[in-house]
Chains A and B, each alone.
Chain A
Amino acid sequence: MKPITETIQRPSFDTTAFVGRSDETIGRSKEVNLILTKAKKLCDGEEVEKRVTVFSAETALGKTWLLCQIAHELSIGPCPDRMKIYRLDPPDKASITDDFDATKETKRVLAEFAADVWGEKIQEVSLPELSRKVMDVTKERLGRYSLVLFVDAVFEADWNFLELFEEHLLGPLAIIPNVLIVLSGRGRKFPWSTPELRFRADFHDLHPFNLDDTRVQIERLDRPGLAASDSVDVIQEIGQGVPGATVWLVQDNDFLKTQNPETLDAILNHFLESVSAEPDNNRTKIRGYIEALCVLRAFDDDRLSKFIQVYGQATGSSVAGVAVSHGVSVNIQKILVNEALAQYKSEEGAYILDKYLAKLAEEYLRRKNPSLWKLLHTTAIDLYAEWVTKYERTKERWIVEKAYHEGVLASAKTD
């Protein structure tokens, strides 16, 4: 059996400080108890109505920590000897190459599941046949056991894989009464077909930590002195209660003394490394797009073109060249959405960047390159001023946006 609490080798998290502590889980007790309650019901032979739970959160909010903590709590109760706990890792984008074969990958996942959970080695067969065999052995062996299946970073996986995965394992498992499924993911949710995974699932959003939780988190990182100091306020303000950001901010003593932008630079790179499967050179470009757009509260094709162009000219970088064509801006939008770094918000009628990432990027720019930061805000003011005149039907909206950017610059002057 794959150890559920093993640290997954991604730069975004280190579970060791948090998982397995007997004291209360930081900031996520409600979520942990939710699954423990469901598990206890299964152990007591009671019916559990919503056996599929989905935790959604943006970057570095501790989805994997949460799953590991739940798994740890399950492993010490309520009926560890009658409960199989398994973490299944879907292929993340980094593992997807040109010759990626979703069928082959699904077969691998199914075969591993049978081998790890039930100790069954299933011979090479077609995917439907493998699915039948895996489900047959699952139903046969499940008997007195309950199964809790964790799938982390599920929405970030290849969607062709997810379609097959649902059809051949996740969907069939979701309807078995003594199976709990815990999913976590970021970005757009996969449109599952199985009712139990879709409109009968229990959906929860994870939010950032409040100041008290951040303080406890810092204590757990063996920094009790720091936790008791005023620096926690700085960490909370810049890290915004995102546990992943707190970890990095705490690690850098210098930043807390000097607020050196290089620390924010490193954090931004860590964030991107943890969420983007793109090669380094593409990631540098993505970093540029984020810096170019970070001052905007929402953006569309027009704003994206304008800001990439202004940023490119100001930095002399090769983010997109001087002239940004429609095709280029559409492509940039696609990249940001595909990496779940931006998403379309219907209430805005436009895209918004991952808000924690955007805030970090703006903090970095403001410290590292204040003139560029100011230029971007000024560009926004000029653009919205033009739109107020040009677009009569929607001018109220642009007046509000223009006022926002004017307000930001005015506060900076005051500071």
Chain B
Amino acid sequence: MDNFHHTGSFSYSRDNEEINRWLKVNGFLYDPFAELDASTDPYLHQYIVQHTAMDALWGQNHALIFEPKGGGKTALSVRTAQNCYVGQQRNRPFPISYLPPFLNWGGATPLPEEHLQAILTSAMKQLLISIVYRPHWFLELNSNDQQLIRSFLERDLAGPLEGFLALVDVDPKQLSIFRKRLNISLPIRSTPAVSQVLTLRKQLASIAPQTIAEDTVARWHLLRQILLSLFRFDSIYLLIDGLDAGPETASDSQALIRSCDFIWRSLPNWEAEGIFVKAFLPAESTDALQADYAAECGRAKYVHIEWTEDLLVEMLMRRIDAATQGQYSSFAAIATPDLMDVEQQIVKAAGKVSGSNLPREVLSLLSHILLAAARRSVEPARLHYEDIETGIRTYKIEMSAHQSNQQE
């Protein structure tokens, strides 16, 4: 049990409708425990708890964040990217969310050019979504610069620009399809004026692309110039996440670190050039990185995130507080008087049953408890001690079943 971890594909069973009804009766405006995928959680900014990590992440420095699997690395990455879109100005960093694509098909030792090409593709996706949400960033450029951007997008987007532009429409649903097509689910809070989006689309479509350097390294330098000199972003954040998703890197920390050899070696130069790597790495890769790249990573900020019981309790309480709009921050407020320290009890039980202190496990157990409460409840819909007992029992059963499936 100690080594048991859920993977991202595991989803706990829950009856959303019953739980939602129970939460609603108790003053929740939404279910803050349902969304396990941070990248699509629209409320993430309200209840993020890892302030130490955020402090290290935000700024002109490389940051290496080590977290256990399922510990919320993606939440931090998404949050960092979101922070880049506060306001209408270009005086924030430009985020490039980078998941090395070759890891999925077994290429764990990519060449520098392969990395750069993949980063260029990610950057163009991010640039396209950026100018769709902030059309004035593009429309304010002179025609030569607009042509350069248009050509770059045409060259390095993973698909024809026209195909993406066809999805940019006045209908908000279309924007959501557009984001899905780009595979960027990052929620950007302020949406653009329809007229500006249509002008942007028209403008992009009307510009004839020019020839652009074929050499990947040359285009990489050009990208840096475009982002920092032409758009005048404050800096570039390269947000690296998901390195443990590939077959060769999932269980081999050395292979995982080696797969980004080029990136670690580039850190000193990139810092001077205004490019800052924010890498979200599995906790067990710390030694491998230190062993081979201590010098290159010397100026980076290191943060080791450990989900303590206190932090997990805080995570639950912030979610309750956000979803009830401050009405209360603990289930104790809606519990019978014989229940105290509800969140502490849930966190301890999740750790004991699953063998690990992880948000995913806590949320999983909580869903069982909420379901028990929802099914038992008569008005008023209070939380009873027996709901916690029932929840723990059904959570254990599910865990055992899941473990058996994995062993088979």
* Complex Cα–Cα for A166 and B46 (A): 14
Chain B residues in 8 Å Cβ range of A159: 325
Q: Which of A369-415 contact B (CB under 8 A)?
A: 387, 390-394, 397-398
Q: Which of B329-357 contact A (CB under 8 A)?
A: 329-330, 332-342
CB distance from A358 to the nearest CB of B (A): 18
CB distance from B314 to the nearest CB of A (A): 9
* Complex Cα–Cα for A62 and B317 (A): 30
- B-contacting 9-mer, from A65-73, A207-215, A326-334: A326-334
Q: Is B327 within 8 A of A344, CB to CB?
A: yes
Q: Is B86 within 8 A of A194, CB to CB?
A: yes
- A-contacting 9-mer, from B117-125, B188-196, B244-252, B358-366: B188-196
With an 8 A cutoff between CB atoms, is A3 at the interface?
Answer: no
CB distance from B166 to the nearest CB of A (A): 24
* Complex Cα–Cα for A133 and B165 (A): 28
* Complex Cα–Cα for A87 and B171 (A): 39
Q: Which of B260-289 contact A (CB under 8 A)?
A: none
Chain A residues in 8 Å Cβ range of B333: 300-301, 344, 349-351
Q: Which residue among B325, B329, B333, B341 has the maximum number of chain A CB atoms within 10 Å of its CB?
A: B333
- A-contacting 9-mer, from B32-40, B51-59, B64-72, B300-308: B51-59
- A-contacting 9-mer, from B88-96, B105-113, B149-157, B175-183: B88-96
* Complex Cα–Cα for A351 and B333 (A): 8
Chain B residues in 8 Å Cβ range of A131: 87-88
Chain B residues in 8 Å Cβ range of A194: 83, 86
With an 8 A cutoff between CB atoms, is B220 at the interface?
Answer: no
Q: Is A191 within 8 A of B45, CB to CB?
A: yes
Residue in A135, A187, A333, A391 whose CB lies within 8 Å of B88:
A135
Chain A residues in 8 Å Cβ range of B87: 131, 135, 167-168, 171-172, 175
With an 8 A cutoff between CB atoms, is A140 at the interface?
Answer: no
* Complex Cα–Cα for A163 and B43 (A): 13
Chain A residues in 8 Å Cβ range of B342: 349
Q: Is B334 within 8 A of A193, CB to CB?
A: no
Q: Is A350 within 8 A of B332, CB to CB?
A: yes
Known: A175-B91, A175-B92, A193-B86. Contact between A394 and B329, CB under 8 A? no
CB distance from B52 to the nearest CB of A (A): 9
How many A residues touch the partner, as a band?
Answer: 35 or more
Residue in A172, A195, A330 whose CB lies within 8 Å of B83:
A195
Known: A188-B326, A193-B45, A326-B380. Contact between A128 and B332, CB under 8 A? no
CB distance from B42 to the nearest CB of A (A): 12
Known: A167-B86, A194-B83. Contact between A346 and B193, CB under 8 A? no
With an 8 A cutoff between CB atoms, is B2 at the interface?
Answer: no
Residue in A191, A199, A326, A333 whose CB lies within 8 Å of B55:
A199
With an 8 A cutoff between CB atoms, is A200 at the interface?
Answer: yes
- Closest B residue by C-beta to A188: B326
Chain A residues in 8 Å Cβ range of B321: 188
CB distance from A287 to the nearest CB of B (A): 21
With an 8 A cutoff between CB atoms, is B379 at the interface?
Answer: yes
- Closest A residue by C-beta to B337: A391
Q: Is A346 within 8 A of B330, CB to CB?
A: yes
Q: Is A193 within 8 A of B82, CB to CB?
A: yes
* Complex Cα–Cα for A35 and B328 (A): 33
With an 8 A cutoff between CB atoms, is A132 at the interface?
Answer: yes
Chain B residues in 8 Å Cβ range of A176: 91
Q: Is A200 within 8 A of B58, CB to CB?
A: yes
With an 8 A cutoff between CB atoms, is A222 at the interface?
Answer: no
Residue in B92, B317, B325, B340 whose CB lies within 8 Å of A394:
B340
- Closest B residue by C-beta to A326: B380
Q: How many B residues have CB within 8 A of the partner chain?
A: 44
With an 8 A cutoff between CB atoms, is B322 at the interface?
Answer: yes
- Closest A residue by C-beta to B325: A159
Q: Is A171 within 8 A of B86, CB to CB?
A: yes
Residue in A166, A301, A394 whose CB lies within 8 Å of B86:
A166
CB distance from A297 to the nearest CB of B (A): 15
With an 8 A cutoff between CB atoms, is A126 at the interface?
Answer: yes
* Complex Cα–Cα for A330 and B382 (A): 12
Chain A residues in 8 Å Cβ range of B92: 175
* Complex Cα–Cα for A168 and B89 (A): 9
Show the binding face of A for B, using Cβ within 8 Å.
Answer: 126, 128-129, 131-132, 135, 159, 163, 166-168, 171-172, 175-176, 187-188, 191, 193-195, 198-200, 300-302, 326, 330, 333-334, 337, 343-344, 346, 349-351, 387, 390-394, 397-398
Sample of 24 A–B contacts (CB below 8 Å): A128-B136, A132-B88, A132-B89, A132-B136, A135-B87, A166-B86, A167-B86, A168-B88, A171-B86, A171-B87, A172-B88, A175-B87, A187-B326, A193-B45, A195-B54, A195-B55, A199-B55, A326-B379, A390-B338, A391-B337, A391-B338, A394-B337, A397-B340, A398-B337
Show the binding face of B for A, using Cβ within 8 Å.
Answer: 27, 45-47, 51, 54-55, 58, 82-83, 86-89, 91-92, 136, 189-190, 192-193, 317, 321-322, 325-330, 332-342, 379-380, 385
Known: A193-B45, A346-B317, A398-B337. 11 other contacts (CB 8 A): A128-B190, A128-B193, A129-B136, A168-B87, A198-B51, A301-B380, A326-B379, A343-B326, A344-B329, A349-B333, A391-B336
